[in-house]
Amino acid sequence: MKQAQGTLSVATPGQGLTEITDEVVRWVEGHGIATGLLTLYCQHTSASLVVQENADPDVQRDLEAFFKRLVKEDVSLYRHTAEGADDMPAHIRSALTQVSLAIPVSDRRLALGTWQGIYLFEHRRAPHTRRVVLHISGE
């Protein structure tokens, strides 16, 4: 069995979904594993990872709008407000999604569905540089 680990640095423009599928695919292809498992882990508490449709950009816009309605950026609702009105809502949005993904590798390719892409979901308003740890194991 082979294993490899690396880190992907993702610059976000602020709140929203940033697709990282192509970068992850290139990283996986560089390790020559035909059958295995890729684990991605976001090292932040105010951003998350999701697998989502990557064909129609309206899906991303609707998802972002839904989370804005679901988790309000209103400082009167939270105790943790020292880092701004968007910080505690970002933590809640991250808790409602996920910081880790596991994606099978089959025939040297990620076993994503036809319309699936991998996204870093930035929950803060300001641009950030986020780190995603990649770990692949297999044969």
pLDDT tens readout for residues 33-69: 999 999 999 999 999 999 999 999 999 999 999 999 9
Q: What is the CATH number of the domain that holds 46?
A: 2.60.120.460
Residue 91: per-residue pLDDT: 98
Residue 42: per-residue pLDDT: 98
Contact 124, 47 (CB under 8 A): yes
pLDDT one-digit tens code per residue, 62-110 = 999 999 999 999 999 999 999 999 999 999 999 999 999 999 999 999 9
In sequence order, the 6+-apart residues with CB closer than 8 A to the CB of 83 are none
Residue 123: per-residue pLDDT: 98
Residue 45: per-residue pLDDT: 97
Let me know how long the chain is.
139
pLDDT mean over 8-30: 98
Residue 1: per-residue pLDDT: 95
pLDDT one-digit tens code per residue, 12-21 = 999 999 999 9
Contact 27, 134 (CB under 8 A): yes
In this structure, the number of other CB atoms found within 10 A of the CB of residue 46 comes to: 20
Residue 128: per-residue pLDDT: 98
Contact 33, 108 (CB under 8 A): yes
Give the structural domain span for 102.
Answer: 2-138
Contact 40, 112 (CB under 8 A): no
State the total domains in the chain.
Answer: 1
CA 116 to chain CA centroid, Å, is 13
Q: Which of 104, 122, 105, 110 is nearest to 50 (CA)?
A: 122
Helices 87-96 and 57-70 pack at an angle, to 10 degrees, of: 120
pTM here is: 0.96
